[in-house]
């Protein structure tokens, strides 16, 4: 039977012909195939040169963005995100832990006795913890099934809670450890698929034991490299994501804003610096520079309390009255003033050498800002800024106007927003497979712990690394 099948196959694929005819036919096929390949190549080249790059309202690759927009992703009526290997439609499922699901999570959200309200925490530069949480709760990317989630979001407001006296550093540390011990999926991946927001210059250092427990987790923070202040940085470019700071809603909301930008020709100052000295060298130098050149550089003393406290509108009115807004580092390398500059439409000048900026895969910051060495703060800086023609300043402001939507924590119904940008960055962090030192797998694909107990039978509290 086997020999018969072989004979039948031979007959089907190689019909009986004289030997020389088969050879001749094969050569003809080879020549024809080669001619087809050559013709296809030349026709393709011909079409490429004659038609040029196709114009489309949606970008299919980062190369398209560069070709059409000189490296800056600009947003108009039609918005497209660069195709980073996931297609034009973002596919992402995020599980958001409920505050009642895990004992201790409410403490990290509201402090002792629940006295810290989300409304109090959403204000100011650290409001991103509240805003991202709220946006995720309403997001189409949210899933209520842990088993199908790509990522897990752990909601907290620890910076606000700490600043308002809701928890001490020791209590924050103990509560985080307690919360993590009740998350089987955190243990399963070693924390690799869990997201934490740390919105201040301290970054993940707000959780003193972050290096032990969150060294694999995804951290969303405006603060990048922190080794200039500590031996170890809590930011890792491989896994973590830089996010924009929280600009006052009165400046980012659609419609009427707290203040409207002045025309360049009507601005009183070349540059300004609005911030406290905080004993920082760069800031002290700017304050002294403003005393030397009061007609060029404005640096008013900021009162944070009392009758002379600078209100929100007054603060932005000062910012809008200069062509350049100087953004030196403070306690850490990032500064909210960089993001605020885009909404009063002055050109931000970064004076922070270690600063990290968000969404660098799609934004070319050279076109919308200036970065100047913090070691060269002095008259030389003012001379350089004064040499820049107003037309160039206008161009940079116009470019910044088109991308500043990326600094706004708007609902995902907005085609351009900080939230949408963060979702795209998170998608790059999704991994099909997770490995940790405390998980093991068997021939049938089941995940077990060191005692060979299957994952479905793991019971919290779980031992953590």
Q: Residues near 34 by Cβ (< 8 Å), separated by ≥ 6?
A: none
Task: State residue 207 phi and psi, 5-degree precision.
Answer: -100, 100
Long-range contacts of residues 301-308, Cβ cutoff 8 Å, at least 24 apart: 302/274, 302/275, 302/276, 304/276
Residue 29: which pLDDT band, with cuts at 50, 70 and 90? low
Q: Residues near 151 by Cβ (< 8 Å), separated by ≥ 6?
A: 92, 93, 94, 95, 193, 194, 195, 218, 426, 429, 430
Q: Of residues 411 and 58, which shows the higher confidence score?
A: 411
- pLDDT tens for each residue of 404-431: 999 999 998 888 899 999 999 999 999 9
Q: Check residue 36 and give its pLDDT.
A: 60
- pLDDT tens for each residue of 208-243: 999 999 999 999 999 886 666 666 778 888 899 999
The average pLDDT across 76-103 equals 70
Contact 118, 130 (CB under 8 A): yes
Q: Of residues 12 and 26, which shows the higher confidence score?
A: 26
The average pLDDT across 243-260 equals 87
pTM: predicted TM-score of the whole model, two decimal places: 0.80
Contact 464, 213 (CB under 8 A): yes
Query: For the structural domain made of 258-408, what CATH number should be given?
Result: 3.40.50.2000
Q: Check residue 341 and give its pLDDT.
A: 96
Domain boundaries, the chain: 56-89, 94-246+428-457, 258-408
The average pLDDT across 376-398 equals 97
Q: Check residue 265 and give its pLDDT.
A: 92
Name which of 143, 47, 65 is nearest 359 in CA terms: 65
Report d(CA 111, CA 435) in Å as an integer. Answer: 34
Place of tokens 């309390």: 305
Residue 193: which pLDDT band, with cuts at 50, 70 and 90? very high
Q: Check residue 51 and give its pLDDT.
A: 38
Place of tokens 């997001």: 139
Q: HSE of 270 in the Cβ direction (CA atoms, 13 Å)?
A: 17
Label residue 289 exposed, middle or buried (CB < 10 Å: 0-12, 13-18, 19+): buried
- Length of the chain measured in residues: 465
Percent of the chain whose predicted confidence (pLDDT) is above 70? 78
Considering only 62-71, 212-221, 325-334, 384-393, which range has the smallest mean pLDDT?
62-71
The single-letter DSSP state of residue 454 is B
| Burial annotation 354-372 (CB, 10 A radius, 16+ → b, else e) | bbbbbbeebbbbebbbbbb
Q: Residues near 50 by Cβ (< 8 Å), separated by ≥ 6?
A: none
β-partners of residue 272 are 298, 325
Q: Check residue 76 and give its pLDDT.
A: 39
- Say if residue 294's pLDDT is above 90: yes
> Structure tokens of 249?
């809603």
Q: Check residue 275 and give its pLDDT.
A: 85
Name which of 130, 117, 83, 180 is nearest 424 in CA terms: 83
Q: Check residue 67 and give its pLDDT.
A: 33
């Amino acid at each position: 039977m086997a020999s018969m099948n072989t004979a039948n196959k031979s007959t089907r694929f190689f019909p009986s012909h004289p030997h020389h005819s088969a050879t001749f036919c094969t050569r003809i096929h080879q020549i024809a195939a080669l001619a087809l390949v050559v013709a296809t190549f030349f026709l393709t080249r011909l079409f490429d040169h004659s038609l040029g790059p196709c114009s489309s309202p949606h970008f299919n690759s980062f190369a398209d963005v560069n070709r059409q927009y000189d490296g800056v992703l600009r947003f108009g009526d039609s918005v497209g995100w660069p195709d980073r290997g996931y297609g034009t439609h973002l596919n992402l499922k995020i599980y958001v832990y409920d505050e009642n699901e895990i004992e201790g999570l409410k403490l990290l959200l509201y402090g002792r006795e629940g006295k810290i309200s989300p409304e109090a925490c959403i204000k100011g530069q650290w409001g991103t913890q509240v805003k991202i949480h709220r946006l995720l709760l309403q997001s189409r990317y949210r899933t209520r099934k842990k088993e199908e989630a790509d990522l897990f979001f752990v909601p907290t407001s620890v910076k606000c809670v700490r600043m308002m006296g809701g928890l001490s550093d020791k209590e924050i540390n103990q509560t985080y450890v307690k919360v993590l011990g009740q998350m089987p999926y955190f243990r399963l991946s070693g924390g690799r698929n869990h997201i934490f927001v740390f919105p201040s210059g301290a970054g993940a250092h707000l959780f003193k034991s972050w290096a032990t427990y969150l060294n694999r987790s995804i951290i969303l923070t405006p603060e990048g490299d922190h080794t200039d202040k500590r031996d170890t940085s809590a930011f890792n470019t491989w896994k973590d994501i830089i996010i924009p700071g929280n600009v006052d809603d009165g400046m980012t909301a659609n419609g009427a804003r707290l203040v409207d930008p002045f025309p360049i020709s009507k601005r009183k100052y070349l540059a300004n610096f609005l911030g406290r000295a905080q004993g920082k060298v760069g800031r002290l130098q700017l304050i002294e520079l403003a005393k030397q050149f009061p007609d060029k550089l404005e640096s008013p003393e900021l009162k944070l309390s009392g009758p002379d406290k600078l209100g929100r509108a007054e603060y932005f009115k000062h910012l809008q009255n200069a062509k350049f807004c100087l953004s030196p580092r403070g306690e850490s390398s990032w500064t909210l003033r960089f993001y605020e500059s885009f909404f009063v439409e002055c050109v931000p000048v970064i004076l922070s050498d270690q600063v990290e900026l968000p969404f660098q895969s799609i934004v070319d910051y050279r076109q919308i800002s200036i970065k100047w060495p913090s070691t060269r703060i002095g008259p030389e800086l003012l001379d350089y800024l004064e040499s820049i023609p107003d037309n160039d300043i206008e161009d940079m402001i116009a470019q910044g106007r088109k991308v500043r939507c990326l600094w706004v924590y708007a609902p995902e119904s907005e085609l351009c927003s900080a939230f949408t940008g963060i979702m795209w960055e998170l998608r790059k962090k999704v991994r099909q497979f997770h490995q940790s030192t405390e998980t093991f797998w068997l021939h049938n694909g089941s995940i077990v712990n060191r005692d060979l107990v299957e994952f479905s039978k793991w019971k919290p509290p779980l031992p953590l690394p």
